[in-house]
Amino acid sequence: FMQFFCSPIQGALSDRFGRRPVVLLSNLGLGLDYIVMALAPNVAWLVVGRVISGMASSSFSTAGAYISDVTPPEQRAAAFGKIGMVFGLGFIIGPALGGWLGAIDPRLPFWGAAALSFLNACYGYFVLPESLPPDKRMSFSWARANPVGSLVLLRSHHELFGLAAVAFFGYLAHAVLPSVSVLYMGYRYGWGPASVGLMMAGVGLAAMIVQGGLIRPITARFGERRTLLLGLLCGAVGFSVYGIAPEGWIFCLGIPVMAFWGLAGPSNQALMTRHISSSEQGQLQGAIASINGMTGMIGPILFAQTFAFFIRSDFPLNPQHSSL
């Protein structure tokens, strides 16, 4: 919710004042968030921490604008893919490290995350250069900084609006994975935490290989548009395998196919940046992050309710129904 509202603001601020100060403040905000959560005496303070996190994590829009500033258009898909690779790496290391620290003290993972956030801020302060020259900056306007105003930008070009629709449905589809995948695997295959953890590690590793090593040669060979189509096709096939797999090992066969879905997001984002001037890249990335935040609100409710409906004991197509 906070990401939906704050991403356009941070994007517009980065168009006005540059990327570097926004990234620095966001990392400091994340550090504050984790300190609040580490010290939280009750659930209400955890919610406060999540609000701060939603505001600060909007820096992803600024990071996307930074990449657009320093990367030629034909290389942006590979650059955005590297961001996905880093997320895949975090998907593998984060839970393991958090579990190890949490076994020592439940609050220790939050202190560790706060320390990493402040280290990021220090790196940005001492090492990270500014990417947006003053002559390419745009004045700040609340009309552009609010979520509705930022989304209006996506209607400025017919193809840009279509690509935004692709991003919306892609983010919405991705929301099914954190929403119900663990419940689905436990319900259908009887997997416990260890099996689910191994599967998640496999997903992260496969995503790292595709987004970190394969997207550059694939986009160079086929172009961003065909790479986008290939990624969408692989995503459709991968989700189909996940949905119809009668046994766990067949489900796992969908992981390498699903990994190539990771071609779609970076290619789509790179195509979108081609339709926007350098002074509007922050606003564009803020709009993309708002779309992601919107699907983050819709997806969990939609997929959780859908999952609950189809596993009812009286639903005739339930795979565990006694009549089947």
Give per-residue pLDDT as tens, 201-243. 888 889 889 988 899 999 999 999 999 999 999 999 999 999 9
Q: Which of 22, 27, 5 is nearest to 66 (CA)?
A: 22
Between the ranges 90-104, 137-151, 282-296, where is the mean pLDDT highest?
Answer: 282-296
Q: Is the pLDDT of residue 324 over 60?
A: no
Q: Which of 86, 85, 79, 84 is nearest to 65 (CA)?
A: 79
Which residues have C-beta within 8 Å of that of residue 30, sequence separation ≥ 6?
Answer: 52, 53, 56, 57, 59, 113, 114, 117, 120
Q: Is the pLDDT of residue 323 over 60?
A: no
| CA 284/CA 68 separation, integer angstroms | 10
Poorest-pLDDT segment among 2-6, 46-50, 270-274? 2-6
Domains of the chain: which residue ranges?
Answer: 2-129+144-310
Do 112 and 229 form a contact (C-beta atoms < 8 A)? no
* pLDDT value, residue 99: 79
Q: Which amino acid is at 35?
A: I
Do 283 and 8 form a contact (C-beta atoms < 8 A)? yes
Do 145 and 34 form a contact (C-beta atoms < 8 A)? no
Q: Which amino acid is at 291?
A: I
| CA 10/CA 29 separation, integer angstroms | 13
The stretch 32-53 carries a mean pLDDT of 87
Whole-structure pTM value: 0.82
| CA 266/CA 232 separation, integer angstroms | 12
The stretch 99-126 carries a mean pLDDT of 91
Buried b (16+ CB within 10 A) or exposed e, 173-209: bbbbbebbbbebbeebbebeeeeebebbbebbebbbb
| pLDDT digits 0-9 by tens, 158-182 | 788 899 999 999 999 999 988 899 8
* pLDDT value, residue 10: 81
* pLDDT value, residue 173: 95
Q: Which of 220, 237, 200 is nearest to 87 (CA)?
A: 200
| The two three-digit tokens of residue 142, written as one number | 């609340």
Do 209 and 259 form a contact (C-beta atoms < 8 A)? yes
* pLDDT value, residue 175: 92
Average pLDDT, the chain: 86
CATH architecture of the domain formed by 2-129+144-310: Up-down Bundle (1.20)
Instruction: Specify the 3-state DSSP secondary structure of 316.
Output: coil
* pLDDT value, residue 11: 79
Say which residue the tokens 């590297």 belong to.
Answer: 82
- DSSP annotation of 71 reads S
* pLDDT value, residue 320: 56
| CA 310/CA 317 separation, integer angstroms | 8
* pLDDT value, residue 316: 65
Q: What is the largest CA-CA distance in the chain?
A: 70
Q: Is the pLDDT of residue 319 over 60?
A: no
Q: Where are the beta strands (DSSP E) in the chain?
A: none
How far apart, in Å, do the first and last CA atoms of the chain sit? 41
Which residues have C-beta within 8 Å of that of residue 272, sequence separation ≥ 6?
Answer: 160, 163, 164, 167, 284, 288
| pLDDT digits 0-9 by tens, 241-280 | 999 999 999 999 999 999 999 999 999 999 999 988 877 7
